[in-house]
Structure 1
Amino acid sequence: MSPLIEITDPRVLDPETILIDVRAGANARERYLAGHLPNAILATLDNDLAEHPEDPAFGGRHPLPSLKDFTATLGRWGIRPDSHIVVYDDKAAAMGGARLWWMLRSIGHPHVQVLNGGLKAATDEGVALSTDDYQPVAVTPYPVPPAYRNTVDIEEVKAAAKADDRVVIDVREGARYLGHTEPLDLVAGHIPGAVNLFYSNSLSPGGKYLTSQALATLYNETIGDVKPENVIVHCGSGVTACHTLLGMEHAGITGPKLYVGSWSEWSRRELPIATEANGL
């Protein structure tokens, strides 16, 4: 199943499809109630797709929820292992949509897709939005898997960033990677050895992903001859990195891993930090 689906595909608004609207930020519910796709369930990044960390130095700003909590949430949303799920957000999958897609794929759910272009693609197509507070019918909790797959911890990132046969990709904007600015975390810069590929480079001007062929070219220029399973992707807190992982899947590059803690963890651990100025 392709990780992306177009708004013109009848499965998006099929009553049998479980449609999930992911929002991020303090006003997530207000934006959802202002207009969402009919029968879309509201999911919020902070409450449904992440734990609230006691210390971001251990797990980052958006650590994954426990598997027990996440699968209980899936049950409340009416999701079973055979459910077809379509996810979207209002940020072209960059602030939550791809994160939920990645989480579902990570626990082995096969039937999940992200709406290409997100909410904007739907409104551009003339889909009438709803302002209802849609409530799904709960089912029994989703089976709890043994682990989230395809994640790495900080120790593996330390080793990978120094290895010739591995690559660590930082998908934050260039100014943050170079250490010119840091709006969210405590220190500016990047993991020594990590390469930069801004996540939005995978999008067309209209907010949809580039073609699979164009994405393959983009990513392979960065990955080179490194095997996909030896690729690690990170961002600030493990959210926009999922946008790039989705793009890689669409490009046929399967197996890269997510460093969930990302820069928000690394930058708080008194580890080496590279910037344009220090040249590390």
Structure 2
Amino acid sequence: MYTTLITAPQLQRLMASGAPLRVMDCSFELMKPDAGHVQFEAEHIPGSVHVHLDHHLSDKSGADRASGGRHPLPSRETFAARLGALGLHNGMQAVVLDRQAITTSGRLWWMLKWCGHDAVAVLDGGLAAWKDAGGAVASGPAAPSVPATFALKEPLAHTASAQEIADALGRPGQTLIDARAAARFRGATEPLDPVAGHIPGALNRPSSDNVMPDGRFKPAAQLRNEFERLLAGHDPASVVHHCGSGVSAVPNLLAMEIAGLGRARLFPGSWSEWCNTPGLPVAQG
């Protein structure tokens, strides 16, 4: 079972073995929401299915939200039904990928853990790594998914709410890591949310810092050294990851796990929820 990363050669062997498998392509462009589906139909791993951030991994309607923010989580029950419609059942190994430095695929990786499914791994390096390893690609729409039953289990990943974070501000036992680019963290620019800045006391580690130029994660030892320097003695178990809308924070969360520092919590509403909540403090600089 693969639970964090899987390499392209490992995926090739897994596919050849005939083991129950679902490959899920989460390619998505934030400023062009339909671009990921176009990219998928241009080329994708044979047998994979496209998973859309807005349609599958969020609840944009607001009717069944499990969090706030620009990309609110759907309830676990709604998401389980969506997974079944995509052909995933509990006995399958899930492999997730994207073309955007493991951003949206990280979201699906985390959500499957949140629903109790441990057998999910991110394809290290995404589609580019698959092609570099000689993997075949297909084009056109995905084949229709055979509906399956996905049963919820106890969560393997956990969240922190805005209120929980606010209650713990300035106290020992909470360490916030913000995955946004440095300029947004400082409040020098804010292209998406109505308020610029960050949660007081938060540390900044842009999610792009976790990967090498080829899109693969840095070695575990290097990630561990970088996070230990950032934490500067703070307990890794105290970390709560966040970003703009709870999506690009997950590469930091996954990188800490690869580094052997455990699985931290996620603030899924992130800055987009925090800065829209009256009375919550904002820092800049």
Q: Same fold (TM over 0.5)?
A: yes
Alignment TM-score, normalising by the size of structure 1? 0.91
Could you tell me which residue of structure 1 aligns to residue 81 of structure 2?
72
**Contact 2:116–2:154 under 8 Å retained in 1:** no
Could you tell me which residue of structure 2 aligns to residue 97 of structure 1?
105
Could you tell me which residue of structure 2 aligns to residue 8 of structure 1?
9
Q: Which amino acid aligns with 2:145?
A: P
**Contact 1:77–1:138 under 8 Å retained in 2:** yes
Q: Which amino acid aligns with 2:6?
A: I
Q: Which amino acid aligns with 1:155?
A: Q
Which residue of 250, 263, 266 corresponds with 1:242? Answer: 250
Alpha-carbon offset, residue 7 of structure 1? 0.6
Q: Establish whether residue 218 from structure 1 lines up as the match of residue 226 from structure 2.
A: yes
Query: Using a 3 Å threshold, how does the CA distance of structure 1 residues 54 and 86 change in structure 2: closer, same or farther?
Result: closer
Q: Establish whether residue 114 from structure 1 lines up as the match of residue 130 from structure 2.
A: no
Superposed, which structure 2 residues align to 1:1-280 within 5 Å?
1-9=2-10, 10-11=12-13, 13-14=15-16, 15-16=18-19, 17-24=21-28, 25-52=33-60, 54=62, 59-94=68-103, 96-134=104-142, 135-140=144-149, 142-145=150-153, 149-270=157-278, 271-276=280-285
Alpha-carbon offset, residue 88 of structure 1? 0.3
Deviates more, 1:124-133 or 1:42-51: 124-133
SS of match in other structure, 1:108:
coil
Query: Using a 3 Å threshold, how does the CA distance of structure 1 residues 44 and 11 change in structure 2: closer, same or farther?
Result: farther
SS of match in other structure, 1:85:
strand
1:49-75 Cα distance to aligned partner (Å, 9 max, x none): 01105599x700011111121101111
Query: Using a 3 Å threshold, how does the CA distance of structure 1 residues 167 and 144 change in structure 2: closer, same or farther?
Result: same
Alpha-carbon offset, residue 87 of structure 1? 0.5
Query: Using a 3 Å threshold, how does the CA distance of structure 1 residues 162 and 237 change in structure 2: closer, same or farther?
Result: same
Q: Which amino acid aligns with 2:193?
A: D
Q: Which amino acid aligns with 2:152?
A: V
Q: Tell me, which stretches of 5 or more residues in structure 2 are unaligned?
A: none
Deviates more, 1:101-110 or 1:231-240: 101-110
Alignment TM-score, normalising by the size of structure 2? 0.90
Distance 2:171 2:115 in 1: 28
SS of match in other structure, 1:218:
helix
Q: Tell me, which stretches of 5 or more residues in structure 1 are unaligned?
A: none
**Contact 1:161–1:194 under 8 Å retained in 2:** no
**Contact 1:53–1:62 under 8 Å retained in 2:** no
RMSD, matched Cα: 2.0
**Contact 2:3–2:118 under 8 Å retained in 1:** no
**Contact 2:80–2:151 under 8 Å retained in 1:** yes
